[in-house]
Amino acid sequence: MRPLLIACGLALASQADAAVHIKKIDLQPADSGWTVSIQASAPTKFKTGTLGNPDRLTVDIPDAVLDIDASARPAPSPKVPGVRYSQFTRNPNVVRVVVDLPATGASWSICETQPTSKIAVALRPGPKSAPVSVAAKKPTPKPIPPVKSKARTKVASRSTTARSQGTEIESPPWNPAEAVAIIAGQDCPNALKARLIAVVSDPAIQSSKYVWAGSKPGAFDCSGLSSWIYGGLDVPLPHSSVLQSQTGVEVDKENLRAGDLVFFACRGESVSHVGVYLGENQFLHAANERRHLCITSLDDRYYSERYAGARRVFRTEPEIER
């Protein structure tokens, strides 16, 4: 069962409005789950909870009033979770959004994060015997037994074959010098080039793991990595590959340059994965819990068959004027 991601998009509002107006509630596929996007007229907070029999997630938005016409309501579908909303109370005004959790027999864990431009609540099914918990911890992986291979390092792969006194040592997921050389040879804005070089050279990034909903060094998912990279350039990106695929301008594959976001449809026809292009057909991404962060070729069969386009989100002033 796929996890759910609930995000509040915030827009500027008139100071004359005493209450926040909820303008739109939309449901879209996101990284390994769904995104319920709640568009408000001003920055706001919300509180999450759960209800039983049947299992449901609730999102309560205080000091808010519904201001949604019928055409903005998400269309019902048997393939997606059910979403309902109402003016839950008046005086005080509270809008409640309810998401039906599929009856899988599993419990659900809730992880809350608060990026710069949105509040996100990630839901994922847990073991049937586990209680509902906040920020459920990932189980400790079993140690990998030592192997007899020689150490090897590639730009586009993660290797775990180095040995020292019989103990397995993970070698870098890419060769920093080779990655830097690729980026340095690209024709892109200097600030973007410097940021990418700093990222691929940072041991803390090389040692980071893939963690769903992760968005900082040590723990990234795919859109968390790309949004963190661009956050260092003061370019805010939503923590969702689907929403990132709707930002910036479209770029043809033959015109890719370092820093462009490359997207993949790994689950059907919808975008579900994103990476950051480095040059020479290589892209950096948080792949999965097996490969973690790595540099991969666009010619890789799996990704070439699932390539879904690219967007440029960092542009110079002359480019914007054109």
Measured over the CA atoms of residue 251, residue 254, residue 257 and residue 258, the dihedral's sign is positive
Half-sphere exposure of residue 149, counting CA atoms within 13 Å on the CB side? 13
Beta carbons within 8 Å of 194's beta carbon, 6+ residues apart: none
Q: Given the structure tokens 């691929």, which residue do they identify? A: 200
Other beta carbons within 10 Å of 306: 16
Residue 207 token pair: 């040692």
Q: Is 273 a catalytic residue?
A: yes
Which residue of the set 8, 111, 188, 222 is catalytic? 222
Which residue of the set 111, 188, 239, 285 is catalytic? 285
Both ends of the chain: CA-CA distance in Å? Answer: 45
Burial of 199 (0-12, 13-18, 19+ CB in 10 A): buried
Q: Which residues pair with 80 in a beta bridge?
A: none
Q: Is 285 a catalytic residue?
A: yes
Query: Which positions are annotated as active-site residues?
Result: 222, 273, 285
